Structure 1
Amino acid sequence: MSRELTREEKRKIRALVTKWCANYDKEYGCLPLECECYMFGKCWTGAYCRYFREAVLPLDPALEAALMSEGPPPEFKPCPVCGGPVPLDGRLAYCSAACAKKAHRRQQREYMQKKRSCDVDN
Protein backbone atom coordinates (compact mmCIF):
# COMPACT_ATOMS: atom_id res chain seq x y z
CA MET A 1 0.00 0.00 0.00
CA SER A 2 1.45 3.34 -0.98
CA ARG A 3 1.10 6.67 0.75
CA GLU A 4 1.81 10.25 -0.21
CA LEU A 5 5.31 11.53 0.50
CA THR A 6 5.66 14.32 3.02
CA ARG A 7 7.30 17.62 2.10
CA GLU A 8 10.30 16.72 4.28
CA GLU A 9 10.71 13.34 2.54
CA LYS A 10 10.62 15.00 -0.88
CA ARG A 11 13.24 17.51 0.26
CA LYS A 12 15.52 14.73 1.55
CA ILE A 13 15.12 12.74 -1.68
CA ARG A 14 16.09 15.79 -3.76
CA ALA A 15 19.10 16.48 -1.51
CA LEU A 16 20.30 12.87 -1.74
CA VAL A 17 19.96 12.77 -5.52
CA THR A 18 21.75 16.06 -6.13
CA LYS A 19 24.59 15.21 -3.75
CA TRP A 20 25.15 11.44 -4.13
CA CYS A 21 23.52 10.04 -7.27
CA ALA A 22 26.15 9.11 -9.87
CA ASN A 23 23.53 9.26 -12.64
CA TYR A 24 22.51 12.86 -11.90
CA ASP A 25 24.00 15.86 -13.69
CA LYS A 26 22.89 19.47 -13.04
CA GLU A 27 22.90 20.31 -16.74
CA TYR A 28 21.37 17.13 -18.22
CA GLY A 29 19.35 15.64 -15.34
CA CYS A 30 19.32 11.85 -15.29
CA LEU A 31 22.12 10.72 -17.61
CA PRO A 32 20.76 7.27 -18.60
CA LEU A 33 17.28 8.66 -19.35
CA GLU A 34 18.43 12.05 -20.70
CA CYS A 35 15.58 13.83 -18.91
CA GLU A 36 14.76 15.21 -15.46
CA CYS A 37 15.47 12.76 -12.63
CA TYR A 38 12.52 10.43 -11.99
CA MET A 39 12.93 10.83 -8.23
CA PHE A 40 12.32 14.61 -8.37
CA GLY A 41 8.72 14.04 -9.48
CA LYS A 42 7.87 11.37 -6.88
CA CYS A 43 4.70 12.11 -4.89
CA TRP A 44 3.88 8.61 -3.61
CA THR A 45 5.81 5.75 -2.05
CA GLY A 46 6.19 2.69 -4.22
CA ALA A 47 8.35 2.38 -7.34
CA TYR A 48 11.78 3.99 -7.04
CA CYS A 49 14.74 4.35 -9.36
CA ARG A 50 16.76 1.15 -8.87
CA TYR A 51 20.08 2.98 -8.51
CA PHE A 52 18.57 5.40 -5.98
CA ARG A 53 17.01 2.56 -3.96
CA GLU A 54 20.17 0.39 -3.88
CA ALA A 55 23.03 2.88 -3.77
CA VAL A 56 21.79 6.28 -2.58
CA LEU A 57 18.90 5.63 -0.19
CA PRO A 58 20.97 3.56 2.31
CA LEU A 59 22.98 6.73 3.03
CA ASP A 60 19.97 8.05 5.00
CA PRO A 61 18.72 5.18 7.21
CA ALA A 62 15.77 7.16 8.59
CA LEU A 63 14.48 8.03 5.13
CA GLU A 64 15.07 4.46 3.96
CA ALA A 65 13.00 3.08 6.85
CA ALA A 66 10.24 5.61 6.18
CA LEU A 67 10.05 4.89 2.44
CA MET A 68 10.44 1.13 2.53
CA SER A 69 8.00 0.40 5.36
CA GLU A 70 4.27 -0.10 4.95
CA GLY A 71 1.86 2.33 6.55
CA PRO A 72 2.76 5.64 8.19
CA PRO A 73 6.41 6.65 8.48
CA PRO A 74 8.15 5.26 11.59
CA GLU A 75 8.99 7.55 14.49
CA PHE A 76 12.58 8.41 15.38
CA LYS A 77 14.28 10.09 18.31
CA PRO A 78 17.50 12.11 18.01
CA CYS A 79 20.82 10.49 18.90
CA PRO A 80 22.13 12.14 22.09
CA VAL A 81 25.67 12.34 20.63
CA CYS A 82 25.26 13.52 17.02
CA GLY A 83 21.53 14.20 16.61
CA GLY A 84 21.07 11.49 13.96
CA PRO A 85 17.88 9.41 13.82
CA VAL A 86 17.41 6.48 16.23
CA PRO A 87 14.34 4.22 15.89
CA LEU A 88 11.89 4.29 18.81
CA ASP A 89 11.93 0.53 19.30
CA GLY A 90 13.21 0.91 22.85
CA ARG A 91 16.40 -1.08 22.36
CA LEU A 92 18.77 1.37 20.68
CA ALA A 93 20.07 4.46 22.44
CA TYR A 94 22.49 5.66 19.74
CA CYS A 95 22.37 5.82 15.94
CA SER A 96 25.65 3.92 15.43
CA ALA A 97 28.38 1.99 17.20
CA ALA A 98 30.69 5.01 16.84
CA CYS A 99 28.22 7.23 18.73
CA ALA A 100 27.82 4.57 21.43
CA LYS A 101 31.60 4.41 21.82
CA LYS A 102 31.86 8.22 22.09
CA ALA A 103 29.12 8.30 24.73
CA HIS A 104 30.76 5.50 26.73
CA ARG A 105 34.12 7.30 26.69
CA ARG A 106 32.44 10.54 27.81
CA GLN A 107 30.64 8.72 30.67
CA GLN A 108 33.88 7.07 31.77
CA ARG A 109 35.71 10.41 31.66
CA GLU A 110 33.02 12.09 33.80
CA TYR A 111 33.05 9.17 36.26
CA MET A 112 36.83 9.31 36.67
CA GLN A 113 36.80 13.10 37.09
CA LYS A 114 34.15 12.78 39.80
CA LYS A 115 36.07 9.94 41.48
CA ARG A 116 39.32 11.93 41.45
CA SER A 117 37.63 15.00 42.94
CA CYS A 118 36.18 12.86 45.75
CA ASP A 119 39.61 11.32 46.48
CA VAL A 120 41.14 14.79 46.84
CA ASP A 121 38.48 15.88 49.34
CA ASN A 122 39.13 12.94 51.69
Structure 2
Amino acid sequence: MENLGDILKRLDATRASSGPVNTPVENSEQDSEGSTYELPAVACDSCRGRGWFTPDVPAGHPEFGAILTCDCQRDRLSEERSARLFRYSNLGQLARFTFDTLNPDGLSDDPDD
Protein backbone atom coordinates (compact mmCIF):
# COMPACT_ATOMS: atom_id res chain seq x y z
CA MET A 1 0.00 0.00 0.00
CA GLU A 2 1.35 3.42 -0.96
CA ASN A 3 2.02 6.08 1.69
CA LEU A 4 -0.45 8.99 1.65
CA GLY A 5 2.39 11.51 2.02
CA ASP A 6 4.03 10.18 -1.16
CA ILE A 7 0.75 10.47 -3.06
CA LEU A 8 0.24 14.07 -1.91
CA LYS A 9 3.83 15.02 -2.85
CA ARG A 10 3.31 13.52 -6.30
CA LEU A 11 0.03 15.45 -6.71
CA ASP A 12 1.70 18.71 -5.65
CA ALA A 13 4.52 18.10 -8.13
CA THR A 14 2.02 17.39 -10.90
CA ARG A 15 0.06 20.54 -10.15
CA ALA A 16 3.21 22.68 -9.99
CA SER A 17 4.47 21.38 -13.36
CA SER A 18 1.14 21.89 -15.10
CA GLY A 19 1.19 25.67 -14.55
CA PRO A 20 -1.45 27.84 -12.94
CA VAL A 21 -4.76 26.24 -12.24
CA ASN A 22 -7.67 27.68 -14.18
CA THR A 23 -9.98 29.42 -11.79
CA PRO A 24 -13.57 28.34 -12.36
CA VAL A 25 -16.20 30.82 -13.35
CA GLU A 26 -18.29 31.88 -10.37
CA ASN A 27 -21.42 29.71 -10.02
CA SER A 28 -20.05 27.00 -12.32
CA GLU A 29 -18.64 23.50 -11.91
CA GLN A 30 -17.10 20.83 -14.06
CA ASP A 31 -18.56 17.38 -14.33
CA SER A 32 -16.55 14.17 -14.64
CA GLU A 33 -16.20 14.68 -18.40
CA GLY A 34 -14.70 18.15 -17.99
CA SER A 35 -17.74 20.04 -19.25
CA THR A 36 -18.46 23.27 -17.42
CA TYR A 37 -22.03 23.94 -16.42
CA GLU A 38 -23.67 26.76 -14.52
CA LEU A 39 -24.91 26.12 -11.00
CA PRO A 40 -28.39 27.25 -9.98
CA ALA A 41 -28.67 30.57 -8.20
CA VAL A 42 -27.87 30.31 -4.51
CA ALA A 43 -30.76 31.29 -2.27
CA CYS A 44 -28.68 32.28 0.76
CA ASP A 45 -25.44 34.24 0.70
CA SER A 46 -24.42 33.11 4.20
CA CYS A 47 -24.43 29.35 3.63
CA ARG A 48 -24.56 29.22 -0.21
CA GLY A 49 -27.61 26.99 -0.05
CA ARG A 50 -26.08 24.31 2.19
CA GLY A 51 -28.17 25.17 5.26
CA TRP A 52 -25.15 25.23 7.58
CA PHE A 53 -21.82 26.98 7.92
CA THR A 54 -18.67 26.96 9.99
CA PRO A 55 -17.79 30.26 11.67
CA ASP A 56 -14.53 31.91 10.61
CA VAL A 57 -12.81 32.03 13.99
CA PRO A 58 -9.19 31.40 15.01
CA ALA A 59 -8.02 28.02 16.31
CA GLY A 60 -8.67 27.69 20.01
CA HIS A 61 -11.94 29.62 19.86
CA PRO A 62 -14.86 27.65 21.38
CA GLU A 63 -16.72 27.70 18.03
CA PHE A 64 -13.67 26.63 15.98
CA GLY A 65 -14.72 23.70 13.80
CA ALA A 66 -18.34 23.91 14.92
CA ILE A 67 -21.12 23.43 12.39
CA LEU A 68 -23.91 25.94 12.86
CA THR A 69 -27.37 25.95 11.32
CA CYS A 70 -27.90 28.91 9.00
CA ASP A 71 -30.80 31.29 9.63
CA CYS A 72 -32.40 30.29 6.32
CA GLN A 73 -32.39 26.64 7.36
CA ARG A 74 -33.63 27.46 10.85
CA ASP A 75 -36.57 29.41 9.37
CA ARG A 76 -37.42 26.58 6.97
CA LEU A 77 -37.27 23.99 9.76
CA SER A 78 -39.51 26.14 11.95
CA GLU A 79 -42.08 26.48 9.15
CA GLU A 80 -42.01 22.73 8.48
CA ARG A 81 -42.45 21.99 12.18
CA SER A 82 -45.43 24.37 12.46
CA ALA A 83 -47.07 22.84 9.37
CA ARG A 84 -46.51 19.31 10.69
CA LEU A 85 -47.94 20.17 14.12
CA PHE A 86 -50.99 21.82 12.51
CA ARG A 87 -51.53 18.79 10.27
CA TYR A 88 -51.24 16.29 13.14
CA SER A 89 -53.46 18.35 15.45
CA ASN A 90 -56.48 18.04 13.13
CA LEU A 91 -57.42 21.63 13.91
CA GLY A 92 -57.91 22.53 10.25
CA GLN A 93 -61.68 22.08 10.45
CA LEU A 94 -61.85 24.43 13.42
CA ALA A 95 -60.11 27.29 11.60
CA ARG A 96 -63.48 28.91 10.88
CA PHE A 97 -64.05 29.45 14.60
CA THR A 98 -62.67 32.65 16.08
CA PHE A 99 -63.42 34.60 19.22
CA ASP A 100 -65.46 36.99 17.07
CA THR A 101 -67.68 34.25 15.62
CA LEU A 102 -68.32 32.33 18.84
CA ASN A 103 -71.12 33.22 21.24
CA PRO A 104 -69.50 34.06 24.59
CA ASP A 105 -72.72 33.24 26.46
CA GLY A 106 -72.76 29.70 25.09
CA LEU A 107 -75.89 27.82 24.08
CA SER A 108 -79.22 28.89 25.51
CA ASP A 109 -82.01 26.58 26.60
CA ASP A 110 -84.35 28.18 24.05
CA PRO A 111 -83.82 26.59 20.59
CA ASP A 112 -85.14 29.75 18.89
CA ASP A 113 -82.55 31.93 20.57
Q: What TM-score do the two structures reach when normalised by structure 1? A: 0.27
Q: What TM-score do the two structures reach when normalised by structure 2? A: 0.28
- The structure showing larger relative contact order (alpha-carbon pairs under 8 Å, at least 6 residues apart) is 1
